[in-house]
Amino acid sequence: MPLSANWPDGVGRSVLPQVDSTNAEAARRATQFAGPEWILTLRQTAGRGRRGRAWHDPAGNFAASYLFRPEMPPAEAALYSFVTALALQEALTAATGRADSFALKWPNDVLLHGAKLAGILLESAGPYLTIGIGVNLVGHPDADAGALRPVSLLGETGLRVVPEEFLDLLAPAFARWQTQFTTYGFAPIRSAWLALAARLGETITARTVTDTHEGTFEGINESGALILRGPRGARAIPAADVFF
């Protein structure tokens, strides 16, 4: 399939009819890394989310991974979750023309009308980083108890976007935000992400493996940690599940 006119230079593009997981496929390809590459599948049979959770996506949804070698320490490369969220918001806005409909939920979700539309999963293997992305373009899984309600782009907007077309929007958007990140650091990424952050200034709950914290969502710090202000002051939480 020919590349779109806006496809980023030097980036590969593979479209597979079916695969177990695009992140797993990226890990296999990393052993013979030939350069950065987007891997899209039209059917994913064993997708996964954060903390090993299953990621269900029916045919027609977007399931892709970006495999590359970031030239930075692992802690800094982890900030690519925010870079990816911004690229997703840009691509979704380009697809729909509805910028105000989307928001970003810490640490790795994109919301549509306040409900979950897309998720991001970063996995590293040696010097390589894989960014897995799932977007509910046409369908969504059943809601889990206590979790944010899932929605699809088609169901909420009536717009049907096919995965290949969405990748042609996402890849150049990601390349632009990646250049911003590698050129100017995390500060402009942090500012742009906060401008789109869901529930900023409101009371939220953050649950870690061992604790539950409730407080006012004040932002994120320079390492991407959630800043939550509770009765005992502000606390930086590097990893948690957030509930509204």
Residues 40 and 131 in one domain: yes
pLDDT at residue number 54:
62
- For residue 54, with 0-12 CB atoms within 10 Å meaning exposed, 13-18 middle and 19 or more buried, which class applies? exposed
* Closest to 133 measured CA to CA, from 173, 97, 101, 99: 173
Residue 127 lies in a domain: yes
Reading the block at residue 234, the tokens are: 């502000």
pTM of the model: 0.94
CATH of the domain at 157: 3.30.930.10
pLDDT value at position 50? 54
In total, how many domains does the chain have? 2
Does residue 7 lie within any of the structural domains? no
Residue numbers of the domain that contains 22: 12-195
In a shared domain, residues 165 and 233: no
Contact call for residues 85 and 120 (beta carbons, < 8 A): yes
* Same domain, residue pair 122 and 177: yes
Per residue in 3-14, pLDDT (tens digit) is: 678 999 999 999
In this prediction, residues 44-71 reach a mean pLDDT of 81
In whole angstroms, give the CA distance from residue 122 to residue 78.
7
